[in-house]
Chain A
C-alpha cells in the first residue's frame, strides 16, 4: 500500500509530507527531489524506482504530487488516488498552487488522515467529507448524536455520495452532453482514426433520495425494445448509435446495466459526471481540413489550407481556431484569409487562424507564404499536423437523451414536477490533419 505521500513545489521544496508506513523514511523525500524533480534528464516514466522504492507522480501546474511505496501495490489505484486527491483539494480550495497548499496545509493533513488510512484509500467523496471536515475547522464537535451517526453512516454507507434530508423548493436538473471529437486525418483526406469521447454531466437539485433512470438512443437498448414493434425499429433505428464502451459514476448500479442495460441510480447532490462513453462509428466530423504545402526552393514554403464545415446550415460553430505549424527557421510569413483573423506567432512556431462563428455547409480558405532562413541543418522539418479547435451545439456522436425519469417514493413530487434541461456541446479533442 501507499507508504507515504509528498507534495513539492516546482523547486522541489516539500510542502506536505505524510508518511504512513515505517519503511518510508525522510530520505525518500530527498530521493525523489534529486532523482526526479532535479534530474538532469527529464524523467520518462510516471513510475520511478529508486533503490527499491517506487515513486508515483503526477504534476498539476508546477506542483508535484508523489506517492511512495516499497510494496507491490496496485499501481492503477495509486494514480486514481492521486487524481482523486487533486479533485478533493480543488473542491476545498480551488486551484492547486503553492500558495493555496501552504494556506491550507492543516486542512490537507486532516484530509490525508481521513482519506488514506495506513496507505489504504478510504471514502474520498467530497460531498461526504465536507460534512465533517471544513476549511473553517471541524464541525462535528457541536453536533448531536443523530447528526454524528448520520455522518458516519454516510461515510461508510452504500450511498456514500448523498446525505438524507435534502430539500429543494424547486426540483430541477440539468444534463450536459459534452463530447470531444478526435480525428487524425491523412493529407489525402483519409480518416486514420476518429473517435468521440463523451461525458454526461448532471447537475441535480432534487429533494430526498430520488431514484433516477436515464435513457439514451443506445443501439442495443433500442434494438431490444424494437423487437416488439417493427415500426419503431425503422424509425428510431437510424438515429440510434453504437456505443463502444461506457463507464459510470459509482452511483450507477453496474449489475443492472450489465443485465438489462438500464442506467439507474440515486444521484449525488449538485454536479457530477454520470457517465463517460466512447464511440467510433458514424461520427459526424464537423470540419474537414484540406492542406496543401508546397516547397518553393529552399527558402520558401507556400501553404494553402481550406476548411469546410459539415453540419446543418442552421447551426453555428464557435471559437474556431486552426493552427498551422511553421518550420523552426521561419523568418517571415504573409497571410491572406477569407474569414476571421490570422497571425503568425513566432514563439509558438505556428500560424494561428481564428474565426468567431461559422455556419454549417460553408467553406473558408487561408493562404500563407512562409520565408525560410537558409540552414545547413540536415535534419528535416518534422511537419507537425495541422490542428483545429472548435465548439458546436450538437453531439458529433449522434447521442440523444431520450429520457431521465425521477421517482421519489417518500416525498410528494412526481417526475412531471421536475424541471429538466438538456444541452449538447461538441468540442474538438485532438483534431488533426497531417500535411
Chain B
C-alpha cells in the first residue's frame, strides 16, 4: 500500500487527466482516480469540476469505491445541488440492500448531504431504517434524524420522526438507545421549551438499564442526558445516584466526569444529615484523583473541573493536597491549573507542605508559572494567618534572588499582606525600597508606591522616593499615577511641613496637565478636601481600610452552580457559561442546580418548579439597567470592585453636588464657595482611593439609629418580605419593610450574604419617586458581611428627595451597591408610613373641605372581614396617624369622620361606616388628588386587619 503517491500529483493538466481516468473502463483505474480526487480534496484543492464523473462511479458493486464516492459527495453536493440529484436513486436502492452495512451506509451518507431536494427523498428510506430489523441500521438511522433536523427541523416534526425516535429509547439494543438519546438531547437543545425528552421515572429507569450495557460513548450520552433530569424528591435522587456511582470506576475519563456531574447535581437534593450523603462524598474523591493520572490533555480538563468542584464542595478533596503537587515535567497548562487548586485547598493543616512546594516552584524557569507561585505564597499568607510570618520571610528570600519578575510579583503580594496585617511587617520595607529601581511593571510600581505612602511616617526618605517617581509622571500608566497621587497626599497629611511643595506639584500635575478624567477628578477631590478641611481630609484619606477578602478569583455562586451543571463540557473548561462562546440559540439554555426537596413535602406539591420560589412571590426586580440609566445617573454608586481591592479604583463623585458646588471656584483655587454648599451627604460619595473609608460615619450620629428600634409604638409594620432574592444579586439577599415612628420614616433592612465572598462597601440609593423618599443617611454596615451572615439595618428616610410620579404610585426603585456589583430592585411601600402626626383637621375645616372637594373625587371602598367596633377601629387608626375628627350614629351605623395628611401636604378626608354585627365596613375617601385614594384604602385595610 502506498497511497501516499496520490498526494504528490501536482501536474498542470491534472483535472483533465483525472477526468479521463474516472471514465476509464477498468475498475482498478477508476478507483485509483477517485483516490487521487479525494487526496486533492483533502489538501484543499477544488475538484468540484469532476462532480459528474465521480458520481458516475457510484453505481458499482465495489463497496470501497462506493464509500470513496460518498465521501466526495458529502463534500461537494452542496455546491452542485442539481447534479447531486443524480445520486438519489442509488441511495434509495442501497437502503433496500440485503446487507445491513450497506443499508446503514446509505442512510448515513444521505443525511450528510445537505441539499433540500435530496432530503425529500430521504424521508421514506429513513422511516424504514428506523424500524429496520438490524440494530446497526437502527442506530445509524437514529443519528440520521438529528442530521435531518439540522437541515430541516419542520420536516422532521411533520414526518413524525421525533415520535419514532422517542420509541427507540425503549429499544432492546443499548447502542440504539444511546444514539437515540444523543439525537434527542441535541434536538431538544434547539427547542428549549419543548418537552421532547420527557424524562420521567420510567424512562429514567430505561436509561439506567441501558447505561450498564452500552459502549463507553453511549454511557456518556446517557449520563449527560440524565444530568438534565430533576428528580421529584430526595429518594429518587438517591436511587439514581446509587445506580450511577459504579461508573466512577470506568476507564474512560469522560464517563467518570459525566457521572460526577450527575452526582454533584443530584447531591444538591440530598440532606446533609443523610448517611448516604457522606458515603457519596467519600466516593467522589478517589476517581477525581485518578483522573490526574490520565494523559495531560485530559488532566487539564479534569483540573479545570476539579477547580469548580473544590469551590462548590471543598470537603471532597480537602485531604488530597499532595496529588496536586506539580511534577517537574508536567506541561505548563497542567502546572498552572494545579497551582490554582493548591491555593484553594491550602489550610492550616497543610500549609507547611504547601509553602515548601511553592518555594520550589518559585525557582523554576517558566515565567508565568513562577509568577503565579510567588503570588500563591502571598495568598497563603492572607488565607492562613498562622503562616503569614513564614510566607513573608519566604517572599523576602525570593526578593534577594534579584530575579526581576520575581521581585516585582513579590512586591505586589506583599502590598496585600500589609493590607491584611497592618503594622506588622513594616520591618521589611527597607528591603523593598532597595529594589525600587528595578521595578518596571505598573502593578509592581503602584504597589510599591502604595507601601511608601501607607508607611510614609516610618520611611525617612519617603518624600525623596515619591519625588523620584514624580519626574516621569506623564509616562506612567494610570494605575501608577493614581497611586502616586494618593500616596503623596497621604505623605502630606503625615508630614505636612516638608512636603507642601510636593503635594502642590502632584495636584497640579493631576488636575491641570492630565487628560485622564479619573485622575483629574481624584486630584480635585483631594485638592478640595485639603483646602477646606484638612482634618476631614485626614479622616478620609487615612481612614481605616476594610478587610480584604481571603479568597480570590472565586466564581460567583450562581455562575458556579450553572457550571456545575456543565461538568465535563467546554463550559467547565472555559469557566464560562455556554452562551459566552456558543453562537445562536443552541445550547444556551440556562441550567441550574435542583432545589432540595424532601420526599414528604413533595407528596403535597408534586409540581415543584425547578428554580426558586413560586412565581407569585417573586419580588419585582428591575430588569435592565439601561432603562433607568437616566435617573440613576444621579446616584452615587461606587464602581463595582471584585477581588482584592486594588488601591486604584477611580473615585466616583456625586455629580450633583460637585456641579452645584461650582467647579469654577475650584479651578480658581477659591474653595470658600464649597464650604457653604449644602453638602447633603450623598451615600458613599467620594469613596476615596483605598475604598470604603466610611466618610459618612459622623453623620450617623445625626440620625439616632438605635432609638425606637424594638419599641414599636408607631404605626403598623408589615413583616419583612424578600425584596431582592440572592439569585438575582450574586448572593446578596435583601428583605425589608417600612416603619414610621415618632415622625420619622425608616426602611428596616435585613441583608444576608449567601455568597462565598465577604461583602463590603454597601451603599443604597433610591430612584426619584412619588413622595420624594430618599435615604437620610448612608447605609451603615459596620463590619464586612461574611458568608452566611445576616445584618439588620434601619435606614432613616426623608421625604425631601426629588419627586417623580411613579406607576403604581407607591413604587420605589432601589439600587444597592456592594463590593461585588450594583443591584436594582423595586418595592411597594405602604402609604401609611407617609401619614404625618399633625394630620388632625379641625371640625369646621373638615366640613368645609369635604364640601369643597368635588364629588367625582370621592371614592368608595368595602373593607371586608373586619369585625371591629368604632372605638377599636378609631384607636387602631389613630396610632397610624389617621385621626377621627367626628363620630355620628345614623340608623344604628357608626360613622367615623377622619382626616389624615401625607408628608407632601395632601389631605385625605374619610368617612368610615361601621355596622355593628356586620364584618364589612364602607370607606369613602375624598381627596384633591384622587389617585392616592386607592392606596389610602389599602393602608386602611392593612391597619384594620392587623
Contacts and interface: CB of A to CB of B under 8 A. Distances in A.
Interface of A: 1, 13-17, 19-23, 26, 29, 44-47, 49, 52, 54, 56-58, 69-77, 79-83, 99, 102-106, 109-110, 113, 117-118, 120-125, 132, 135, 137-138, 140-141, 143, 145, 148-149, 151-153, 155-158, 160, 184, 186, 192-193, 195, 197, 244-250, 253-255, 257-258, 273, 275-276, 278, 378-380, 382-385, 387, 430, 432, 434
A44 B289 contact: no
A80 B250 contact: no
Interface centre among A123, A153, A186, A248 (most CB of B within 10 A): A123
B328 A430 contact: yes
A245 B286 contact: yes
Interface residues of B, number: 115
A135 B2 CA distance: 12
B246 A132 contact: no
A110 B67 contact: yes
Interface stretch (B132-140, B836-844, B903-911): B132-140
A44 B322 CA distance: 24
Interface of B: 1-4, 6-7, 35, 38-39, 42-44, 61-64, 67-68, 71, 75, 98-101, 104, 108, 111-112, 114, 134-137, 139-140, 143-144, 146-147, 150, 173-176, 179, 182, 186, 212-217, 220-221, 224, 243, 245-247, 249-254, 256-258, 286-287, 289-290, 293, 295-298, 300-302, 322-323, 325, 327-329, 332-333, 336, 353, 356-357, 360, 363-365, 368, 401-403, 566, 568-574, 578, 581-583, 586-587
Contacts of A432: 327-328
B249 A254 contact: yes
Contacts of A26: 44
Contact of B3 (A104, A156, A273): A104
A254 B301 contact: no
A102 B3 CA distance: 6
A384 B143 contact: no
Given A75-B572, A149-B100, A160 B215 contact: yes
B458 to A, nearest CB: 30
Given A46-B297, A75-B301, A247-B290, A378 B175 contact: no
A423 to B, nearest CB: 21
Contacts of B569: 72-75
Contacts of A105: 3-4, 6-7, 38-39, 42
A138 B250 contact: no
Q: Report whether over half of chain B's contact residues are helix, strand or loop; otherwise say mixed.
A: helix
Contacts of B298: 76, 79-80, 83
Given A29-B44, A72-B571, 20 more contacts: A44-B332, A45-B333, A76-B254, A77-B217, A82-B297, A105-B3, A117-B108, A120-B182, A122-B139, A145-B98, A148-B100, A186-B356, A192-B356, A247-B290, A250-B215, A257-B249, A278-B293, A382-B363, A387-B328, A432-B328
A76 B301 contact: yes
A17 B287 CA distance: 35
A278 B289 contact: yes
B403 A156 contact: no
A247 B256 contact: yes
A434 B175 contact: no
Report, nearest first, the 5 A-B pairs whose CB atoms are least far apart: A245-B286, A102-B4, A152-B136, A76-B254, A258-B246
A141 to B, nearest CB: 5
A158 B213 contact: yes
A49 B363 contact: no
B580 to A, nearest CB: 9
Given A120-B221, A430-B327, A71 B289 contact: no
Contacts of B212: 253-255
A48 to B, nearest CB: 11
Nearest to B325: A193
A14 B38 CA distance: 13
Contact of A122 (B43, B146, B217, B295): B217
Given A132-B101, A151-B101, A153-B135, A192 B325 contact: yes
Contact of A141 (B61, B286, B401): B61
Contacts of B356: 186, 192
A132 B137 CA distance: 15
A26 B253 CA distance: 31
14 contacts: A56-B297, A58-B297, A71-B582, A102-B3, A106-B64, A141-B63, A143-B99, A156-B175, A192-B322, A193-B325, A248-B250, A257-B246, A258-B245, A384-B328
A106 B213 CA distance: 32
Contacts of B295: 58, 79, 83
A156 B176 contact: yes
Contacts of A257: 246, 249
A45 B336 CA distance: 10
B371 to A, nearest CB: 14
Given A16-B42, A56-B297, A105-B3, A193 B323 contact: yes
Given A22-B150, A74-B220, A383-B363, A47 B300 contact: yes
B408 to A, nearest CB: 14
Contact of A382 (B64, B215, B253, B365): B365
Given A29-B44, A149-B100, A380 B249 contact: no
Q: Report whether over half of chain A's contact residues are helix, strand or loop; otherwise say mixed.
A: mixed
A249 B402 contact: no
Interface centre among A103, A120, A157 (most CB of B within 10 A): A120
A260 to B, nearest CB: 11
Given A132-B101, A140-B99, A276 B251 contact: yes
A103 B224 CA distance: 38
Nearest to B296: A46
A138 B570 contact: no
Contacts of A56: 297
Contacts of B583: 23, 52, 70
B101 A140 contact: yes
Contacts of A186: 356
A378 B399 CA distance: 12
A72 B257 CA distance: 15
A387 B329 CA distance: 11
B247 A77 contact: no
Contacts of B363: 380, 382-383
A77 B143 contact: no
Interface centre among B1, B174, B332, B587 (most CB of A within 10 A): B1
A52 B216 contact: no
A149 B137 CA distance: 11
A31 B57 CA distance: 34
A224 B287 CA distance: 22
Nearest to A23: B583
Given A123-B175, A141-B63, A156 B570 contact: no
A84 to B, nearest CB: 9
A276 B245 CA distance: 18
B250 to A, nearest CB: 6
B672 to A, nearest CB: 57
B254 A247 contact: no
Contacts of B140: 117
Nearest to B288: A245
A76 B568 contact: yes
Contact of A380 (B39, B213, B401): B401
B943 to A, nearest CB: 54
Contacts of A109: 38, 67-68, 71
Interface centre among B35, B246, B296 (most CB of A within 10 A): B246
Nearest to A54: B570
B80 to A, nearest CB: 16
B323 to A, nearest CB: 7
A348 to B, nearest CB: 13
B3 A138 contact: no
Given A14-B43, A379-B403, A249 B251 contact: yes
A210 B597 CA distance: 46
A307 B221 CA distance: 51
